[in-house]
Structure 1
Amino acid sequence: AFAVLGIPSEIKTDNGPAYISKRVADFLALWGVSHKTGIPHSPTGQAIIERAHAS
């Protein structure tokens, strides 16, 4: 997605294990991306993504 859309200044994810690992944190820090986390498995906290996925 970075190649097509560019590097985002910030991303928001849930606190799922795939997003809170040190490897992800290091990658985002390398690219200068701020990482905000929400409540895991919360459709309210992830409303924009849930709407995009229609789930």
Structure 2
Amino acid sequence: VHKHLLGAFATLSIPSQLKTDNGPAYTSAATKAFLDSWGNVHITSIPHSPTGQSLIERSHQS
């Protein structure tokens, strides 16, 4: 996750906020420390609620 976030930061700039789902890759202590080191505010969506990420869920639809 950190490798991909670094790539996104390098390409798109460092965001002040990052909104993710509650997946273990995003809620780990290592990811929290990584985002804190970059000054990001990490916002998670409501657990078990795909409407919290409706635009992303729609784009992932097959």
TM tier, smaller: 0.7 to 0.9
Q: Of 7, 30, 33, which aligns to 1:23?
A: 30
Counterpart amino acid of residue 34 in structure 1: V
SS at match of 1:11: strand
Instruction: Give the count of matched residue pairs.
Output: 54
Residue segments in structure 1 that go unaligned for 5+ positions in a row: none
- The match for 1:54 is 60
* Large movers: runs of 4+ above 6 Å: none
Residue segments in structure 2 that go unaligned for 5+ positions in a row: 1-7
CA RMSD of aligned residues (A): 1.4
Q: Which has the higher helix share?
A: 2
Task: Give the alignment's TM-score, normalised by structure 2.
Answer: 0.75
Task: Give the alignment's TM-score, normalised by structure 1.
Answer: 0.83
SS at match of 2:11: helix
